[in-house]
Chain A
Amino acid sequence: MKRIATACSTNKSTLLAIGEVRAQIGTMNTKMVVFFASSIHEPEAVSRTMRDAFPGALVVGCSTAGEIVTGKMLKESIVAMAFSPEAVEDVALGVVSEVGKGPVAQKIGDVFAGFEKHYGRKMEELDFSKYVGIILIDGLSAAEERVMDKIGDLTNVLFVGGSAGDDLKFARTYVYANGKAYTDAAILLLLKPAVGFDILKTQSFRTTGKKLVATEVVEASREVISFNDKPAALAYAEALGTTVEDAANQFMSHPLGLLAGEEIFVRSPQQVLDGKMVFFCNVLEGMELSILSSTDIVADTRNAIKAKNGRQGSIAGIVNFHCILRTLELEKDNLTEAYGNVFSGVPTVGFSTYGEEYLGHINQTATMLLLR
């Protein structure tokens, strides 16, 4: 009896691709399906057809900037993971609409009220070791920090997930739930795994010992005006011993990190703009950030999974929220096959994100839900 099954298709026809996915999943009692689809697939069609392919199951997903499935990194594909009730005992779904507009507290409160009704317990009382959340959010909404902040206020249950992509077109991203396609929205799932779960956040960086303090920021636009009371790009360039003109060339290998003890929460610079630095996630005024230096993504990820496997039982399935910046780095170094191989031994599904969610909004990580 299958507890977790994965499938993929690179067929350009949405209908045929989903037919192949459905056939590969085969016969199983399916409680939930999580799928990730390239933006080549029309949003309404892919969501509706996936729902129709798995009647009776809760079906959710999002658009991507690349897909991951057991043993492979793919492009222009659909990947899916099906969960039986022996893997996911129970699941509740909520959609937060218009996340990019105005306050989100009430909207998340409404979704959580639905979760409380479903499980018969208050979110603040749920046992964080027995329940886990998944979040899929519009990757162009710039709302991730506000949403994750509010979730963290309301519950100790951890939510992990990713920001939807659109194959680097940066035009529109979608999240999918039960046959519908949403933009400017977040999908929240509250799962009760049947056996157990773990969360793995890994990033391939070490700290350099060089620090920058954000002395002036514009939170709304994710801009840092100044570090250490100097124009941000100048301070960053000086710390790396390079020029402002060369600063952007250093972003991929030298992002900044907020340190929680030894745990790194990466803040990736996006561009230099009139001496300011624009980031892919928020930097708050007064934050002390460490300049990071990149290490080996493939080896680090393999070691991180190995360290988790066997601890509290073997891993039965992985949902991998994998930053597009890591994917680009792997592509540059011709390492996508090697990275895919890291996941050859465990049923895996994932996608290249426009950001990952774990306690907050982060960059350049692989943030994974591991089901036992």
Chain B
Amino acid sequence: MLTTESLSFSHSANFQLANIDLEIKPGEIVSLIGPNGSGKSTFLRLISRLIAPHSGTVVLDGRSIEQMKTKEVAKTLAMLPQMQDHQLDLTVGELVEFGRHPHRKTYGKPSHEDEEMVEWALSVTKLSSYRNRMLHSLSGGERQRAWIAMAIAQHPKILLLDEPTTYLDISHQLEVMELVRSLNETSGMTVVMVLHDINQAARYSDRLIVLKEGQVRFDGIPQCVFCQDMFRSIFEIEADIFMKDGLYFFSPKKLRKGDCCETGRYEKRTVGH
């Protein structure tokens, strides 16, 4: 459904994504995790054609996205960048209607299908009664749901989310994650998201892809990726890993490299355990 073929991108000497070959299968929930600056967001921006790769291609349904019309891509693939900080003076309904943009002509009335999709997007995000509320009058969690409603009104096969839970409190985080899961289960939407919370990523994903320094280091089901070795090599921490009801979660113990904060000096230990 979505594959990347030796996708490479760099914007400075210290940062590059090199030769990423990945295949996203239909119906998967995939979470990208990794430390800051590992290239997770850049990867999402590449496959959503916000930025152009230096080499390699992104293939969507058998066609390279560079050769597709921009509206064609938007009909198959929707992406929500990290939380928008500006407050648009739109109502929820008006925002969600923008999701129909790729399917519509610029001038002319929305079709019956457009209206149905907007209704559907509002109802699955439980925002039907908020249709005429202004965006800035909503809580953070509601506003994030409104943006997700806009993205799914595009009726995409693939939904890309860049840190959809950042700045939300824990109950709103779970609300968003539950919404993602139900979209996946009821509509078969493929989801690729960048998540900061590794426990949530493990809980809600079929597959974890771990990036570091622009390379894919681990790729697999959460059970396989969750191991001491991953936390040591990727995040440089010692972690306890637990399992309950078939779900994996971890709790960080301490930093692996130098205890600079405690002793006031940085000592680099050789890796080895």
- Whether chains A and B associate is no
